[in-house]
Amino acid sequence: MKRILIVGAGGQIGSELTAHLRGIYGNDNVVATDVRECKFLSEQGPFAVLNALDPHAYGYTVNKYKIDTIFNLVALLSAVGEKDPQLAWNINMGALMNSLDIARQYGCALFTPSSIGAFGLSSPKVKTPQDTLMRPNTIYGVCKVTGELLSDYYHSKYGVDTRSVRFPGIISNVTLPGGGTTDYAVEIFYDAVKSGRFTCPVPGDVYMDMMYMPDALDACVRLMEADPSKLVHRNSFNIASMSFTPEIIRAEIRKHLPDFEMDYKVDPVKENIARSWPDSMDDSCAREEWGWAPTWNLETMTADMLEKVKAKHEKGLF
């Protein structure tokens, strides 16, 4: 990677990935784009307003900045997508198809994240294999499975260097999430610090794979820098770090905040989605093919999250 374009850079992953990549490759070599102005992204490096559904503007931007690697992060997330499936399909697949075609035209490598949402009720729940039955019951999951297949197609048909990971829920202390089923695992820290109470929208016994943002960012870089001759799967690799239920993370937070309390007001949409996803994923292929290895676990992540969120609260940032 020498000249990088991040599409959808204003989202939860994109905002932090932009800073991470600029720290590695230099501010001027990472171009951030989003559908609206993002002052915090334009202060440290090049930024352009870009609607990824406009192929002409997309191609112009890639050509203007001499891009060789694209990170397509445009997506409507799981819970939001269920409210308007057609909009979710149009945005998620429109951005992907434009990304694939432009990567083909301009010879770019392309990263488009998949998700644990690509699995469904018929997939094995524990240590979900890399290669298994995938029949998701959300439009978000349908888009992710379709995206994996299309990315593999463009690689085999046109030689496009497509790569992807199936992200679990992402936990961040920098950017709040935007409508995903795993959002509770971020929101719980903010409420724990602010009020000492949290009302959880997901049942207490539901396991889901999670990952701390620093590991997610590291996975993006490792995969895109990996030797292509070693990649068997490409689209898309299971990656895993930790798996827990709301009750488990509550207990971990109470080690630091003994008075923390949690009750439940279960959202039936989020419950149905969560119960259809894996309890845990087998990421052995990612470990073998490009050296994936997470750094953070539940204990270290919880301590760091609370420290960072407390510091934000003391500054009056939420």
**Catalytic site residues?**
140
- Burial (CB count within 10 angstroms: exposed 0-12, middle 13-18, buried 19+), residue 79: buried
Give the distance between the most distant pair of CA atoms in the chain.
Answer: 58
Q: Is 139 helix (H, G, I), strand (E, B) or coil?
A: helix
Whether residue 151 contacts residue 100, with contact meaning beta carbons closer than 8 Å, is answered with: yes
- Burial (CB count within 10 angstroms: exposed 0-12, middle 13-18, buried 19+), residue 287: middle
- Distances in Å between the alpha carbon of 84 and those of 79, 150, 180, 276? 10, 23, 14, 19
Calpha distance 134→150 (Å, rounded):
15
β-bridge pairing 197-200 and 261-264: parallel
Encoded amino acid at 275, one letter: R
> CA 318: distance to chain centroid?
23
Give the residue ranges of DSSP H helices in the chain. 12-25, 39-42, 55-64, 78-81, 85-106, 139-158, 184-194, 213-225, 246-254, 268-276, 284-290, 298-314
Calpha distance 250→260 (Å, rounded):
8
Calpha distance 144→149 (Å, rounded):
9
